[in-house]
C-alpha cells in the first residue's frame, strides 16, 4: 500500500482525469461517467465505517461525479446537490440554512495565492490566438504553449527581482512556487493497494472463475487493512493547536479498482481515496489526523500483503516464496510459486520504457526552454510516451477484450502448451487447500513468535513503536498454516506479547483512564497523549548501551609519551613533503595516545583529516612497542583503513564471530588468525566509521577487546548516515564523554567550500545556498535530473576523472548501470567473439566493464592482507567460458578471479551505486540524484 495526499479544490480532478483515464486523448474533458462507460471499468464504491454519518449513502453504493465533487472538491455532504434541490423544493431558499445542512464542519481553508502566473499565461495564450486570427479559446500547439509560459515566467521573475534568473534552477523554482498557493488544504489521502506482480499475472491469464477469486481475495485484504487503519489511525484533533486527539466514527472513502497500467499491461490495483472529513463520536465534523495514517502506513501495507497471501491460500491453495535474486539486507518480495518470471518481466518492461522516454523528453524540454516542465506538460509527455511504446494504440477495452489480449501476449511469449502447463502447476494445489494441517497456536507458540518479532525489529532500530512491531508480526504470519479468520486475533496476541516485559520495555508509561469520555479515548488512553506514541526498547539494547557508556569511563590502559607523538609527526612530515598536523589533529592524536582510556571516541566531519591523524597515531604507538589493528562496520571501510593507515583491518562482524567462537571453544586459540591471537594490553584497536556500527555488535566487540586488555579508539562522524542496524550509541558516548572533535576541513583549498560542507552537515540551509549559487544543484522531474546527472558523470569519466554516480533506489541504480554500459559499448563495440556473463542484478558484463562485489569472499586473496570485499569496485579483464570473471581492483590494480556462482549471486555492474553503499569513498567528483 502506498500513500499520497490529494489537495482540496481540484485534487480529486487530478485523480479522476490523470490516474483514471491513463493515456486517453480526452484528458480533462470527459466526465467520470463517460470514463467508466468508455473504459468499461466498474464504478467506484463507497466504503468505510464513517459512512454511518450519511443516511443516503451506504457501503457498496456506486459513486457519482457530483458526490466526488462535493466531498473531495468542496468538503460538503456527498449528496449536497440533491439535498439542496430537496430543500428548495420545500421552500427553503436561505443560503445560510442550505449551507448549514450540507457542509461537513469548516470548509476547506483557502490560502492566499501568490501573483497569478496561471492567469498571466492565460492572457498571453489568448493574445497569441488573437494575433494568429484564431478564436480566443482555440487549442494552442504544445511547443508554442511551452514558449509562451517560459516568456511569461521570465517577464514576471524579472519584474519581481529586478534582474533575470541566474540559472535554470532559479527560474524553475520560481515557477513551482507560483503554480500553487503557498499551502493547500488536505482533501483526501489516496491509499493505493497493489499486489505483487505474479498475482496480477495469474489474474490476467487464469480462467474467469480463478480470476474472480483472486479479485475477491484482493478486496478482502483491502478490507482488513482498512479495518486496521480505522482501529489504530482514524483520529482527529481538537482544542488549541490540536492538543487533544480523539476518536472518530471511522473513515469515509471511495474505492476505485483498475485493471491495467498506463502501458496497458495487467495491473490489478485499487485506489482507496480516504476523505479528510471525519466525524467525532459527539457528532462534530473535523479533519482526519493524517500523521496517524503515515505512522501506520507500513503496518497497514503489511496487513494487506499478509491477508492477500492467506486469502489466496484459502481460496486457491496458492503458495508464495521469496523472489530469487533478492538484495541482502532488504525485505524480500514474495511471489506465487510456479508463475514464470518471464511473464512478470514481460508486463513490467513497458512501464520502465515509458519512464525512460518521459525522462529523456523532460530533459530535452529543460535544455530547450531553460526551465523544468510543469506538471501538465509532464503528463502530456507521459501520454505521448505511452502511445509510442505500444505496438499499436488500442481503443479503450472492456475486461473481456483485455483478457483476450493478455492471453495472446502470454501465448506469444511462452506458447500455449507451456502457458497451460504453468497454470495447471500453479493451481494444482487448489483442491487440497482445505485439508492443510493448521499450526497449534498456544502460549508457547505466541511467546516464540513474539521474541522472533522483537529480535528482527531490534536489529534495525534501538527503539520501536506499536506499528513497527505490528508490521513485523504480520510478516511473520506469511506462509504459516493459520485459519485466515483467526489471523487478526493471533497477530494481536503476538503484538501484545512482544510489547510486554521482559521482551520489550516501555520508555515512559502513560496512565489509562477507566471511564472513556472527555479525557480519554475508547481504549482508555489520554486524549492528551498521541495514540501509539509510546517508545519501547529491549533489555538487551539498554544493557548494551549501558556497558558501552561505562566502558567509555574506564582508564588504566596503555599510555605512550607525548614525545613519541612528536617524533611520529616529524617522521610523517618527512615522508609527506613537509605536511604537518593542524592543531586539532595534533590534540586528537596526543589525547588518544596519552589518555590511558580503554574506549575513547573522536568525532571527525568529512574531510577533516582523520585518516592522517590515525596514521600518525599508528606510527607513535608502534614506535613504543605496541601493536595496532583496525576494525570497521563494512569490509570496504576496513579495506580503506588498511590501505591508508597501514594497519591490518577486518570487519566488526568477523571480529565478533571469531571472538565468540574463540571464547566458546568452537575455535582453538592456535587455529585463530594471528591478528586475533595477538590482541593484548599492548594492542591499539582503531574503529573507523564508528557511527555506522550496530550497537549490539559494537558492544560485543568492545567487551571482547577490553577483556583481552586492548585500548579502543573509535572515530567517525555522528552526523553521517547511521547504521542500517540498531545504532546511535556513538552519539551518546560522544556527548557523555566530551569526545575529541576535528572541525577544520582539510579536503578543500577554498574556504567557502570548507564552510559549506560543515553547514550542510549541521543542517544549515546556507550550505545549500553556497552550492545553489555555484549551479551545483539542479532541479526537475526525476527523469530529467537523472539524465543530467548521467550526462555530467559520463563527461567526467571521459575526461579521466574518478567520478561517482549516486541514486536513491536500487531500481534506478540498475537503470543507470544499464545505460552506462550501453554508452560504453556504443563507443567501443564488443568484438564478435567476446564473451558476456549475466550478473546478480540481471545485467550483463564483458571485458572493460566496471563491476562491484556485494559480498566478502575471504577465499580469494588479492594480497597478503587483502581479499575480495563487499563494495569493492573492479574492472573486468576477462570473462571465462565457464562464467568466471578475472577483474582488476580499481584502487590497487590487483587481479582476482571470481567463480561463476559468486558472479551470478554477488556481483553487479558498478558504474552507479546507492548513497548508503558509497559512504566513505573518496573520489574526484560525484553526481547524485536526490528526491
pLDDT digits (tens, 9 = 90+) for 842-895: 889 999 999 999 888 888 988 877 889 888 889 999 999 999 999 999 888 899
Q: What does residue 631 show for φ and ψ, rounded to 5 degrees?
A: -135, 155
**Residue environment code for 757-792, b if the CB has 16+ CB neighbours within 10 A, otherwise e:** bbbbbeeeeebeebebeeeebbbbbbbbbbbbbbeb
Question: For residue 502, is the peptide bond before it cis, meaning its omega torsion is within 30 degrees of 0?
Answer: yes
The per-residue pLDDT for 276 is 93
DSSP state of 38: H
DSSP state of 523: T
For cell 571501510, what's the residue? 637
The per-residue pLDDT for 920 is 67
The per-residue pLDDT for 683 is 96
The per-residue pLDDT for 354 is 61
Cell for 599? Answer: 574506549
Q: What gap in Å lies between CA 250 and CA 234, rounded to an integer? A: 6
DSSP state of 520: B
pLDDT digits (tens, 9 = 90+) for 746-794: 888 888 888 898 898 888 988 888 888 888 888 777 777 888 888 899 8
The per-residue pLDDT for 253 is 95
Q: What gap in Å lies between CA 810 and CA 327, rounded to an integer? A: 9
The per-residue pLDDT for 614 is 92
Q: What gap in Å lies between CA 628 and CA 16, rounded to an integer? A: 66
Question: How many other C-beta atoms lie within 10 A of the C-beta of residue 322?
Answer: 13
Which residue, 306, 775, 340, 631, is CA-closest to 494? Answer: 306
Per DSSP, the residues of 634-692 read SHHHHHHHHHHH--EEEEHHHHHHHHHHHHHTSS-GGGS-HHHHT-STTEEEEE-SGGG
The per-residue pLDDT for 378 is 64
Question: How many residues would you count in the chain?
Answer: 931
Give the residues across from 248 on adjacent strands. Answer: 280
**Residue environment code for 62-77, b if the CB has 16+ CB neighbours within 10 A, otherwise e:** ebbbebbbbbbbbbbb
Alpha carbon separation from 149 to 182, 370, 683, 779, 928 (Å, rounded): 20, 11, 68, 18, 29
Instruction: Please classify residue 179 by burial: count the beta carbons closer than 10 Å to its beta carbon, then call 0-12 exposed, 13-18 middle and 19+ buried.
Output: middle
Give the residues across from 875 on adjacent strands. Answer: 850, 888
Q: What does residue 599 show for φ and ψ, rounded to 5 degrees?
A: -130, 115
The per-residue pLDDT for 23 is 36
DSSP state of 907: E
Q: What gap in Å lies between CA 613 and CA 644, rounded to an integer? A: 11
The enclosing H or E element of 396 equals none
The per-residue pLDDT for 389 is 54
Q: What does residue 868 show for φ and ψ, rounded to 5 degrees?
A: -70, 115
The per-residue pLDDT for 66 is 85
Instruction: Give me the residues of the chain with pLDDT under 70, please.
Output: 9-42, 110-115, 179-184, 262, 325-330, 349-363, 366-367, 369-372, 374-397, 429-436, 511-512, 514-516, 721-728, 920
Cell for 462? Answer: 534501538
Cell for 402? Answer: 483485455
Q: What gap in Å lies between CA 503 and CA 453, rounded to an integer? A: 10
0.85 surpassed by pTM: no
Amino acid at each position: 500500500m502506498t500513500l499520497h495526499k490529494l489537495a482540496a479544490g481540484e485534487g480529486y480532478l487530478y485523480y479522476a482525469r490523470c490516474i483514471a483515464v491513463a493515456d486517453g486523448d480526452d484528458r480533462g474533458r470527459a466526465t467520470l461517467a463517460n470514463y467508466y462507460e468508455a473504459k468499461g471499468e466498474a464504478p467506484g464504491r463507497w466504503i468505510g465505517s464513517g459512512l454511518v454519518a450519511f443516511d443516503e449513502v451506504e457501503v457498496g453504493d456506486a459513486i457519482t461525479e457530483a458526490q466526488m465533487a462535493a466531498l473531495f472538491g468542496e468538503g460538503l455532504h456527498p449528496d449536497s446537490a440533491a439535498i439542496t434541490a430537496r430543500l428548495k423544493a420545500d421552500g427553503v431558499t436561505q443560503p445560510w440554512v442550505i449551507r448549514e445542512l450540507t457542509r461537513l464542519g469548516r470548509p476547506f481553508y483557502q490560502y492566499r495565492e501568490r501573483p497569478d502566473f496561471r492567469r498571466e499565461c492565460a492572457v498571453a495564450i489568448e493574445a497569441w490566438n488573437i494575433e494568429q486570427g484564431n478564436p480566443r479559446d482555440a487549442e494552442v500547439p504544445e511547443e508554442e504553449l511551452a514558449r509562451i509560459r517560459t516568456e511569461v515566467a521570465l517577464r514576471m521573475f524579472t519584474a519581481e527581482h529586478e534582474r533575470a534568473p541566474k540559472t535554470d534552477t532559479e527560474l524553475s523554482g520560481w515557477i513551482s512556487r507560483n503554480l500553487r498557493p503557498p499551502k493547500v488544504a488536505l482533501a483526501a489521502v489516496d491509499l493505493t493497494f497493489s499486489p505483487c506482480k505474479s498475482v496480477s499475472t495469474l489474474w490476467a491469464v487464469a480462467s474467469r472463475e480463478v480470476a474472480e477469486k483472486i479479485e475477491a481475495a484482493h478486496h478482502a485484504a483491502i478490507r482488513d487493512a482498512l479495518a486496521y487503519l480505522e482501529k489504530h489511525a482514524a483520529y482527529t484533533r481538537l482544542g488549541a493547536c490540536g492538543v487533544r486527539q480523539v476518536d472518530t466514527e471511522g473513515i469515509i472513502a471511495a474505492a476505485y479498482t483498475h485493471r491495467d497500467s498506463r502501458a496497458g499491461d495487467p495491473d490489478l490495483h485499487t485506489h482507496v481515496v480516504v476523505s479528510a472529513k471525519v466525524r467525532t463520536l459527539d457528532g462534530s465534523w473535523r479533519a482526519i489526523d493524517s500523521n496517524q495514517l503515515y505512522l501506520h502506513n507500513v503496518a497497514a501495507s503489511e496487513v494487506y500483503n499478509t491477508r492477500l497471501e492467506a486469502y489466496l491460500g484459502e481460496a486457491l491453495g496458492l503458495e508464495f516464496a521469496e523472489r530469487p535474486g533478492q538484495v541482502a539486507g532488504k525485505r524480500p518480495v514474495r511471489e506465487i510459486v510456479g508463475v514464470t518470471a518471464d511473464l512478470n518481466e514481460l508486463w513490467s518492461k513497458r512501464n520502465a520504457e515509458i519512464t525512460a522516454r518521459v525522462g529523456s523528453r523532460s530533459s530535452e524540454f529543460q535544455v530547450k526552454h531553460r526551465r523544468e516542465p510543469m506538471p501538465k506538460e509532464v503528463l502530456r509527455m507521459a501520454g505521448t510516451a505511452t502511445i509510442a511504446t505500444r505496438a499499436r494504440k488500442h481503443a479503450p477495452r472492456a475486461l473481456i477484450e483485455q483478457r483476450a489480449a493478455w492471453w495472446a501476449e502470454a501465448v506469444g511469449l511462452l506458447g500455449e502448451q507451456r502457458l497451460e502447463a504453468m497454470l495447471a502447476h500453479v493451481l494444482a494445489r487448489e483442491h487440497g487447500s482445505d485439508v492443510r494441517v493448521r499450526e497449534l497456536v498456544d502460549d508457547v507458540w505466541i511467546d516464540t513468535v513474539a521474541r522472533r518479532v522483537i529480535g528482527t525489529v531490534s536489529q534495525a532500530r534501538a527503539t520501536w513503536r506499536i506499528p513497527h512491531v505490528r508490521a513485523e508480526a504480520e510478516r511473520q504470519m506469511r506462509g504459516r498454516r493459520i485459519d485466515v479468520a483467526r489471523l487478526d486475533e493471533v497477530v494481536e496476541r503476538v503484538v501484545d506479547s512482544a510489547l510486554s516485559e521482559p521482551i520489550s520495555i516501555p520508555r515512559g508509561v502513560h496512565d489509562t483512564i477507566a471511564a472513556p469520555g472527555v479525557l480519554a479515548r475508547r481504549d482508555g488512553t489520554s486524549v492528551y497523549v498521541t495514540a501509539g506514541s509510546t517508545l519501547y526498547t529491549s533489555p538487551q539494547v539498554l544493557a548494551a548501551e549501558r556497558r558501552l557508556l561505562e566502558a567509555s569511563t574506564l582508564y588504566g590502559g596503555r599510555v605512550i609519551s607525548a614525545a613519541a607523538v612528536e617524533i611520529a609527526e616529524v617522521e610523517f612530515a618527512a615522508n609527506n613533503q613537509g605536511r604537518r598536523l593542524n592543531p586539532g589533529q595534533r590534540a586528537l592524536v596526543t589525547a588518544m595516545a596519552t589518555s590511558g582510556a580503554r574506549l575513547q571516541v573522536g568525532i571527525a566531519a568529512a574531510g577533516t583529516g582523520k585518516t592522517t591523524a590515525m596514521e600518525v597515531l599508528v606510527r607513535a604507538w608502534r614506535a613504543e612497542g605496541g601493536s595496532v589493528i583496525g576494525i570497521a562496520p563494512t569490509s570496504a571501510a576496513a579495506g580503506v583503513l588498511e590501505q591508508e593507515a597501514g594497519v591490518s583491518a577486518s570487519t566488526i562482524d568477523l571480529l565478533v564471530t571469531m571472538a565468540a567462537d574463540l571464547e566458546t571453544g568452537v575455535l582453538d586459540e592456535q587455529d585463530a588468525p594471528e591478528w586475533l591471537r595477538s590482541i593484548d594490553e599492548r594492542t591499539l584497536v582503531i574503529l573507523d566509521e564508528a557511527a555506522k556500527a550496530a550497537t549490539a555488535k559494537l558492544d560485543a566487540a568492545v567487551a571482547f577487546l577490553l577483556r583481552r586488555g586492548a585500548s579502543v579508539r573509535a572515530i567517525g562522524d555522528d552526523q553521517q548516515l547511521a547504521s542500517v542496524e540498531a545504532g546511535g550509541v556513538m552519539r551518546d558516548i560522544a556527548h557523555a564523554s566530551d569526545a575529541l572533535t576535528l572541525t577544520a576541513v582539510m579536503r578543500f583549498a577554498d574556504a567557502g567550500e570548507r564552510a559549506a560542507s560543515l553547514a550542510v552537515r549541521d543542517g544549515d540551509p546556507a550550505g545549500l545556498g553556497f552550492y545553489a549559487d555555484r549551479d551545483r544543484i539542479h532541479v526537475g522531474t526525476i527523469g530529467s535530473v537523472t539524465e543530467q546527472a548521467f550526462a555530467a558523470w559520463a563527461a567526467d569519466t571521459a575526461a579521466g576523472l574518478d567520478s561517482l554516480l549516486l541514486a536513491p533506489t536500487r531500481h534506478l541504480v540498475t537503470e543507470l548501470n544499464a545505460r552506462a554500459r550501453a554508452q560504453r559499448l556504443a563507443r567501443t563495440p564488443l568484438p564478435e567473439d567476446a564473451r558476456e556473463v549475466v550478473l546478480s542484478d540481471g545485467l550483463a558484463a564483458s571485458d572493460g566493464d566496471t563491476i562491484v562485489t556485494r559480498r566478502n569472499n575471504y577465499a580469494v586473496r588479492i594480497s597478503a592482507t587483502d581479499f575480495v570485499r563487499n563494495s569493492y569496485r573492479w574492472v573486468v579483464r576477462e570473462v571465462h567460458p565457464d562464467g568466471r570473471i578475472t577483474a582488476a581492483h580499481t584502487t590497487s590494480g590487483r587481479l582476482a578471479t571470481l567463480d561463476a556462482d559468486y558472479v551470478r549471486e554477488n556481483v553487479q555492474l558498478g558504474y552507479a551505486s546507492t548513497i548508503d553503499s558509497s559512504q566513505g569513498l573518496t573520489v574526484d567528483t560525484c553526481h547524485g540524484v536526490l528526491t
